[in-house]
Amino acid sequence: MRSEAPARGGEAAAIPPAWSRSALRWLWLGPVLLTMLVPFAWMLAVSLAPVSGGSFARALSAGLTLEHYRALFLVAPIGTYLANSALVAAAVVGLNVATAAMVGYVLGRRRVPGEKFWTLGIVATLMLPKQVLMVPLYLVMSRLHLIDTYGALILPFAVDAFSIFLVRQYVIGLPHELEEAARVDGASDWAIFRDIMLPLMKPVLAVVAIQSFLANWNSFLYPLIFVDSDRLRTLPVGLALLSQTEHSVDWGFLMAGSTLASLPVLAVFAAFQRQILSGVLAGAEK
Amino acid sequence: MTSWTLLSPWAISFALFGLFPFVFSLAASFSDYSPIHSGHTRWVGLSNYGRALTDPAFWGALGNTAFFVLGTIPFTTALALLLALAVQPAFRGRTLFRVGFFVPSVVSIVVLSLVFKGLYAPDGPLNAVLRALGLRTPAWLLDPATALPAIMAMDVWSASGYYMVIFLAGLEAIPRDLYDAARLEGATGWDCLTSITLPLLRPTLLFVLVVNTVRSLQIFAEVFVMTRGGPLHRTTTVVYYLYEEAFYRFNLGYACAVAYLLFLLTLVLAEVQLRLVGKPAEAAR
């Protein structure tokens, strides 16, 4: 967002906007922003407060403690959940980037017969509400003996229609000259893909990686139904189930877990906000 | 040769995890399949669909989902559009607002739900504020009358920033010289909004409506974390009902029929929105 063309950003692009006009906007956007962020401030405050009282004032008056974070690791297998989430996210992101690069390139360059048909299939998958398939997907996974394995958390999400679509759109916009020159020089299809196209696709593959990390790190329904044993649970599922045990009103404990689950995505967002917003925009343009 | 190799991951994944389950669940929806008596599955024709359409629990879930969709989408859309219009022109600190409004969209729904469950607790911070102001303090998620609206309020809060970014994309795509020309003709800011911005934003509006409707019809994690469908089934959405039928009562055949009904409803609503708000050709671009 930060580096978008100033010419389209509004009339005040060349001259810095007047403080008075900015102040007016701050006056009414400020409270809205505060409303958006106060719940997160409460989460953090309660997670660090020694007493589980629930209110801001009580939370902040008694000093800070990491006791709740310690409890997460001592009382609950949060370390396992965290490791599972990280492992699954790494595998899904890696596979997503690899398959989106391959399939997106083929479709973007129309290098297969029936390219229209394949693209249509991908758009259809995009439109299909995922939750609708929960029962048959569960049955497929159980037939493949994948229920309660890492495979169930990774394989169905290894190829993502949205990622492929993003890469396809990007590849369509890339110039053909480099490929043609390489082909004249006798380079093989595979060499062209690996040595010429992959480096060119880096920006869109970064968007794919970030998007699929966020989606996977936060995913809930399928990890909930595909896994029964505690040692394979991912963080959102583990946290949701912990909140329905004797910890149900232990707000310090639950908010410490919530903070822990949010830190990676917030860090990724802070580092890559431009790519994340551009990923959303690319979705809107389809 | 290489091309087919490169295409194959998608073909395999689509066949195994997309097309096959989709077709298989249609077949299963005409059976009484359940892991409890998996050897004795019978074809039952349309009776799963008949059961759903005569089951008050299904209609209750459908009613809750409809209430959710109708009660959130106008507010989310209006707020998202308003915020997009507010943060589009240049001003100091614009990036802070654009990024800040989007933060709830990157955080897990489980986390958001837990935080709001804490905020909504009867002796929680929200009620502390209300009490200080001398207002009534409902039990929010524990009260059948306020539980669903409380979840809906969280949804409007968390989704607006996401759709704001989509509206921003639509706004940036409107050619600036249209505004310059209108200004020369003496048009006011309001004229520009109603006769340039809003008409040209129609494809974006359509996209936002369809995407948000499809998403809202599938609300699940919020309900699982905050209320487990209660109190008195007043927050049981269609997908939560589907989940309970499939994984608590093991009526898998019946659950497949419910899923297909939800799928049909999604298609019908998307089609209605296409007809009402815009031409499909515009939206496809």
Write the pLDDT tens digit of every residue in B79-89.
999 999 999 88
A201-222: pLDDT as tens digits: 998 999 899 989 999 999 999 9
Polymer length in residues for chain A:
286
Instruction: Tell me whether residues B104 and A36 touch, CB distance under 8 A.
Output: yes
Predicted confidence at residue A112, as pLDDT, reads: 75
Instruction: State which amino acid sits at residue A189.
Output: D
Predicted confidence at residue A3, as pLDDT, reads: 38
Residues B278, B282, B284, B285, CA torsion sign:
negative
Averaged over B245-258, what is the pLDDT? 93
The neighbouring-strand residues paired with B31 are B43
Q: Please say if the pLDDT value at position B38 is more than 90.
A: no
Distance from CA of B16 to the nearest CA of A (A): 8
Predicted confidence at residue B50, as pLDDT, reads: 93
Query: Which residues does B186 contact at the CB level (< 8 Å), separation at least 6?
Result: none
B174-217: pLDDT as tens digits: 888 898 899 888 888 888 888 899 999 998 999 899 889 999 99
Predicted confidence at residue B127, as pLDDT, reads: 93
Q: Please say if the pLDDT value at position B268 is more than 80.
A: yes
Which of A107-111, B1-5, B103-107, B231-235 shows the lowest mean pLDDT across its residues? B1-5
Mean pLDDT of chain A: 85
Averaged over B151-165, what is the pLDDT? 95
Kindly state the tokens that stand for A178: 């480099």
Polymer length in residues for chain B:
285
Exposed/middle/buried for residue A285 (C-beta within 10 Å: 0-12, 13-18, 19+): middle
Task: Quote the radius of gyration of chain B (alpha carbons, Å).
Answer: 23
CB atoms within 10 A of CB A269: 21
Q: Which of residues 215-274 of A touch B (CB under 8 A)?
A: 217-218, 220-221, 224-225, 236-237, 239-240, 243-244, 249, 251, 254-255, 257-258, 261-262, 265-266, 268-269, 273
| Confidence grade of residue A57 (pLDDT, cut at 50, 70, 90) | low
Q: What is the DSSP string of B221-281?
A: HHHHHHTTT-STTTT--HHHHHHHHHHTS--HHHHHHHHHHHHHHHHHHHHHHHHHH--HH
Alpha helices in chain B (DSSP H): 2-14, 20-28, 47-54, 56-87, 94-106, 109-119, 125-132, 147-172, 176-184, 189-192, 198-200, 202-216, 221-226, 238-247, 252-277, 280-284
Q: Give the max Cα distance, chain B.
A: 78
Who wins on pLDDT, B132 or A22?
B132
- Residues of chain B in contact with residue A266, where contact means CB-CB under 8 angstroms, are 103, 106-107
Q: How far apart, in whole angstroms, are the C-alpha atoms of residue B43 and residue B28?
A: 9
Q: Please say if the pLDDT value at position A58 is more than 80.
A: no
* Residue B43 backbone dihedrals phi, psi, to 5 degrees: -75, 135
Predicted confidence at residue A12, as pLDDT, reads: 41
Q: Please say if the pLDDT value at position A156 is more than 70.
A: yes
Q: How far apart, in whole angstroms, are the C-alpha atoms of residue B114 and residue A253?
A: 11
Q: Please say if the pLDDT value at position A169 is more than 90.
A: no
Q: Please say if the pLDDT value at position A187 is more than 90.
A: no
Q: Please say if the pLDDT value at position B264 is more than 80.
A: yes
SS3 A55: coil
Predicted confidence at residue B280, as pLDDT, reads: 44
A221-233 burial code (b ≥16 CB/10 A, e <16) = bbbbbbbeeeebb
